Amino acid sequence: MKVQVNVNGVAYARDVEPRTLLAYFLREDCGLTGTHVGCDTSSCGCCVVVMDGTRAVKSCTMFAAQADGHEILTVEGLAEGGKLHALQQGFWDQHGLQCGYCTPGMLLTSYVLLKHQPNPSEADIREGLAGNLCRCTGYQNIVKAVQQAAGTLGQPAVTNA
Amino acid sequence: MIPASFDYLRPHTTDEAFAQLQQYGSEARVLAGGQSLIPAMRFRLARPAVLVDINSLTELGHLRINEVLTVGAIVRDSEIERAPWIGERRWSLIHDVSRLVADPVVRQMGTVVGSLCHNDPSGDWTAVALASRAHVVIRGKAGIRRVPIDDFLVDSFATAVGDGEMALGAEFPVPDDRTAGSYQKVERKVGDFATAAAAVQVSLNTDGTIRAAGVALSAAGPCAVRVSEAEQLLVGQKPSAELIRAASNTASQRSAPQADLRGTVDYKKNLAGVLVARGLRQALTRLGVHA
């Protein structure tokens, strides 16, 4: 079947089997290998991309056909004009990655988190990233990176009751 | 790990979707959030020949409160979590589950109605639907019918939705303002199936006695279980530690879990009771009663 997906502002028209998963469409049909596949069963969050600017989705658990006519943001689309996105800069500055495998998913999940909660507490960030696993266990710095991007680093930790 | 081939249909109206489901019958499955169906297809546990993708049906995207809370078939868990009324005490059971089902990313795709239709023995929404006495609205050949959740949940992964039929939405009664609930879940990690879970909802009379009670368990049998013995114990009584203990004991007895890596049968039965007690205490605390 024919699908057309707008990925990072570029229209990709491709002929795919209905069973093609979005993660593989992005990696193999669009050549955008920044989206990583970890567990392949919706448990780890490596493959998260943003749909229509507001929703973080696990691209291993969605068909490319479902993205037909929609906008997808992948890690390749975060930086603008050679300037890193605030989240990417945060991960850089705070050493938010070790092996880097989970990083694209962490970035895009955080991207949507900050859209809905521009001033998240540390607890909000930890809760919001609960569906993303880092096998290097570098969570402390990942949380700091998101705090830096949100401009809440150094503020006292408050929990939303 | 790649699903078997299927034909993909994307209807633009509910009528069109229904006609397609009628045409393909048992060969077809509805694709809503896909967060259970797609993994099942990847493991080849499900091999539908046709998928009817209902995500374009905006008419099934409604989330509104009139006489009842209506949740359309493509309303995501995350929409519930962010609903403007979700902080009201009367919705505390639904608020709790909306923050505990699956994980925060899966909740942005997964749907309430899809979870009910999937009817996983360890599902979260099924137990909540029992405790809050929800209905599921089904469109069939004879028209639209509202099925009480107790009749809807037939067996593991089986519901009252027949071949060629379609669940349009779920309806939750609007609790009065002396109502609170609680969802208690123990899981090994976020996103895992529940080791045990309990959904509880309590309404009080003005004299402080319990007017209505809903108690249900997940991961405690072939599908979510209503603990009617506990509900009967509670109604008409004044909340007390003793009453909570009695309700908790009935829940343990009623629980019929399977042993797996998450725990033994004895452990899970005990945990079911503990979670009912915690749920009742939290619901009552939310109502300003400390029992």
pLDDT, one tens digit per residue, over A22-71 is: 999 999 999 999 999 999 888 999 999 999 999 999 999 999 999 999 99
Residues A50, A96 within the same domain: no
Strand partners, A73: A50
Instruction: pLDDT band for A156, please (50, 70, 90 cuts).
Output: low
What pLDDT score does B1 carry?
A: 78
Contact flag A61-B34 (C-beta cutoff 8 Å): yes
Q: pLDDT averaged over consecutive 10-residue blocks of chain B (291 residues)?
A: 95 98 98 97 96 98 97 98 97 98 97 98 98 98 98 98 98 98 96 95 98 98 98 98 98 97 97 98 97 83
Q: How many CB atoms lie within 10 A of CB A2?
A: 9
Residue A81 lies in a domain: no
Mutual angle of helices A139-150 and A103-116, in 10-degree steps: 40
Which part of chain B has CATH 3.30.390.50? 179-286
Contact flag A19-B5 (C-beta cutoff 8 Å) = yes
Interface contact B5, partner A, CB < 8 A: yes
* CATH 3.30.465.10, applies to B62-173: yes
Instruction: Tell me which residue in A1, A18, A62 faces B109 most closely, judged by beta carbons.
Output: A62
Query: Is residue A153 classed exposed, middle or buried when 0-12, 13-18 and 19+ CB atoms within 10 A define those classes?
Result: middle
Tokens representing residue B41 in the block: 């297809």
Dihedral sign for Cα atoms in the order A64, B169, B193, A133:
positive
Q: Taking 70 as the threshold, does the pLDDT of residue A122 lie above it?
A: yes
Let me know if B45 is exposed, middle or buried by CB neighbors in 10 A (0-12, 13-18, 19+). Answer: exposed
Number of domains in chain A: 2
Assess whether pLDDT exceeds 90 at residue A154: no
Q: Do A45 and B53 touch (CB under 8 A)?
A: no
- The residue ranking higher by pLDDT, B113 or A159, is B113
Residues A93 and A45 in one domain: no
C-alpha distance from residue B100 to each of A4, B168, B189, B190 (Å): 35, 24, 11, 8
Asked if B105 lies within 8 A of A40 by C-beta distance, the reply is no
Chain B 184-223, residues with CB within 8 Å of chain A CB atoms: 190-191
Q: At residue A161, does pLDDT exceed 50?
A: no
Listed by number, the residues of chain A in 125-154 with a beta carbon closer than 8 Å to a beta carbon of chain B are 127-132
- Quick check: is A161 in a domain? no
For chain A, positions 82-101, list CB contacts with chain B under 8 A: none
Q: Is B72 left (phi over 0), alpha (psi -120 to 50) or beta?
A: beta
In a domain, A156, yes or no: no
Domain of A7 in residue numbering reads as: 2-76
Q: How far apart are CA B200 and CA B181, in angstroms?
A: 5
For residue B30, the SS3 value is: strand
Q: How far is A15 from chain B (nearest CA, A)?
A: 13
Fold classification of B7-52 is 3.30.43
Please give the pLDDT value at position A41: 87
Task: Identify the residue among B5, B75, B77, B108 best suited for mutation to test binding to A, counting A beta carbons within 10 A and taking the highest.
Answer: B108
Give the domain CATH number at A90.
1.10.150.120
Q: Residues of A with CB below 8 A from B188's CB?
A: none
Take residue B283 and report the two structure tokens written for it: 């619901």
Q: Please answer yes or no on whether B109 and A58 come within 8 Å at the CB atom.
A: yes
Q: Looking at the domain assignment, is residue A158 inside a domain?
A: no
How many CB atoms are closer than 10 A to CB B143? 7
Q: Does A19 contact chain B (CB < 8 Å)? A: yes
Confirm or reject contact between B122 and chain A (CB < 8 A): no
pLDDT at site A87? 97
Establish if B49 touches chain A: CB-CB under 8 angstroms. no
Report the pLDDT averaged over residues A111-129.
96
Are the beta carbons of B105 and A57 separated by less than 8 Å? yes
Question: Which residues of chain B neighbour A63 with C-beta distances below 8 Å?
Answer: 8, 31, 34, 38
Going by C-beta distance under 8 Å and a sequence separation of 6 or more, which residues neighbour residue A161? Answer: none
DSSP B131-194: HTT-EEEEEETTEEEEEEHHHHEEETTEES--TT-EEEEEEEE---TTEEEEEEEE-SSTTSPP
Of A17, A55, A63, which is closest to B5 when you measure between CB atoms? Answer: A17
* Residue B5 to residue A18, Cβ atoms within 8 A: yes
Whether residue B8 and residue A132 make contact (CB cut-off 8 A), yes or no, is: no
| Strand bridging mode B143-148 / B135-140 | antiparallel
Give the residue among B255, B104, B119 at the shortest CA–CA distance from A55: B104
CATH code: domain of residue A24? 3.10.20.30
What confidence category does residue A158 fall into, taking pLDDT thresholds of 50, 70 and 90?
A: low
Question: How far are the Cα atoms of A52, A111, A144, B207, B274 from residue B104, in angstroms, in the given order?
Answer: 17, 13, 19, 40, 26
In this complex, the residue of A19, A21, A131 whose CB is nearest that of residue B103 is: A131
Q: The CATH number of B179-286 is which of 3.30.390.50, 3.40.50.970, 3.90.76.10, 2.60.40.10?
A: 3.30.390.50
CA of A45, closest CA in chain B: separation in Å? 8
Q: Residue B30, Cβ neighbours under 10 Å: how many?
A: 22
Portions of chain B given CATH number 3.30.43.10: 7-52
Task: Please check whether residue B175 is in contact with residue B165, taking contact to mean a CB–CB distance below 8 angstroms.
Answer: no
Query: Tokens 């830096």, residue?
Result: A148
Instruction: Give the percent of chain A with pLDDT over 70.
Output: 96
Q: Which residues in chain B touch residue A113, judged by CB atoms under 8 angstroms apart?
A: 104
Minimal CA–CA distance to B160: which of B117, B125, B120, B110?
B117
Residue A159 lies in a domain: no
Strand partners, B65: B69
**In whole angstroms, what is the distance from residue A90 CA to residue A78 CA?**
13
Subunit contact A42:B4, Cβ cutoff 8 A? no
**Which member of A18, A42, A56 has the closest CB to residue B35?**
A42
Give the pLDDT band (50/70/90) at residue A159.
Answer: low
A90 in the same domain as A68: no
Last residue of a domain, one of A53, A76, A99: A76
